[in-house]
Amino acid sequence: MAHEETGYGVPAHKKLKNEFAARNVWESIRNIKTVGVIGRDDARKIIEIAWPMGVVAALTPSTNPTSTVIFKILIAVKARDAIVIAPHPSAVRCCYETAVLMAQAAEANGAPKGLISCMQHVSLPGTNELMTHKNTAVILATGGTPMVRAAHSTGKPAYGVGPGNVPVYVDRSADIEKAARYIVASKAFDCSTICATEQAVVADAPISSRLVRLMQEQGAYFTSERETELLRNLLFTPDGATNTATVGRPATTLAAMAGFTVPQGTRVLVCRLNRVGKEEPLSREKLTTVLGWYDAEGWEKGCERCIELIQFGGRGHSLILHARDEKVILAFGLEKPVFRIAVNTMGTLGAIGLTTGVMPSLTLGAGGVGGSITGDNITTYHLFNVKRLAYELSAPPVAALVPGEPVSGPDPAEVEAVVRSVVEEILKTR
């Protein structure tokens, strides 16, 4: 239904995402205490009590519509919150049907009617009303940058995602066959509609040509300069905006739209690039089956190129790394301004927690550097608060119990003079 309504991706892959959102997410949260006393610290004399936030306004994307609805309903209800889904306008029907299915299952097992709701007539004013309503406690926004910014601008607490311009670095120490298989499969998975999908390969020079051959065997087609230019003009408008008609499309469809042909069985299109930034549109996030390609001489240069890509629209999100040299792996972990670094796995499935140990989630925070309140994979922990009963551990200082003599405050002019002198000293040192 999601594929029929949006035209995006691969139905079989969307089914897998739905199963992940239902089974894997539930298994990760089922044993989390969210009701009553959830923790005791006898040494510190603290008792922790879970407290639901209230009503969650959940904005969902067109790229992963049904799976995101399943995921958000589960983590909200587990936290004892009510939830109202606000679907993307192009995915209303499939999101509504998913929410109805979830609500029926919940109510059949004792949930109050209305705990789970979904908007059917979606408009910008309507979604704004939902987000700013006095009874809305928190906003859970998954989607494009404008929508996330709108959520953050309401004055309500909001969990938002950041864009994912995700580089994948392949080191000379990597299992090259595995890297080639995983990169192509990950980029082709649901036609690259998950924001943690690889956007550009950064290949260590000594293994670059071998990686090319192995990826070609997996269905990667490396474009000519003419074909690369055709894709630049197809995927992006002159101001850098994405051509939405190209989102979530198979590689063969994109090639035909651009005006060239590719072999049968082509899964991804790979464009050799040498620049990052506004002057190179294909160095942006591409929510479709097109990969950038950069060669780098050594992991240090690879590290620098990855940082360039992350800074150009992917701050705080994710990076994928194929390497067996632990020094290189740790160096990337220390240096990159992202909060998910998936090692030797598919970026698409590793960052969301299907093939790694991170919390299973379809809303991936980008941290402060990416404009999000957290860099976590959002889960039920983020949708309830914790009250703490705190017993006295020690008597207060005597001075706190004895009435003190009032004293006059400092002279404002003296305070200003001190502040000025400190600022001057700081500026001198710079």
Q: 44: exposed, middle or buried (C-beta count within 10 Å: 0-12, 13-18, 19+)?
A: exposed
Degrees, nearest 5: CA angle 147-313-382: 50
Buried b (16+ CB within 10 A) or exposed e, 343-379: bbbbbbbbbbbbbbebbbbbbbbbbebbbbbbbbbbb
Cα–Cα distance for residue pair 15/352, rounded to 1 Å: 15
CA distances from 101 to 22, 93, 107, 410 (A): 12, 12, 10, 66
> Which among 81, 58, 79 is positioned nearest to 70, based on CA atoms?
58
Alpha carbons within 13 angstroms on the beta-carbon side of residue 241 total 8
Cα–Cα distance for residue pair 137/357, rounded to 1 Å: 30
Buried b (16+ CB within 10 A) or exposed e, 13-28: bbebbbebbbebbeeb
Q: Is 95 a catalytic residue?
A: no
Among 95, 195, 303, 306, the active-site one is 195
> Which among 39, 102, 95, 100 is positioned nearest to 76, based on CA atoms?
102
Catalytic annotation, residues: 195
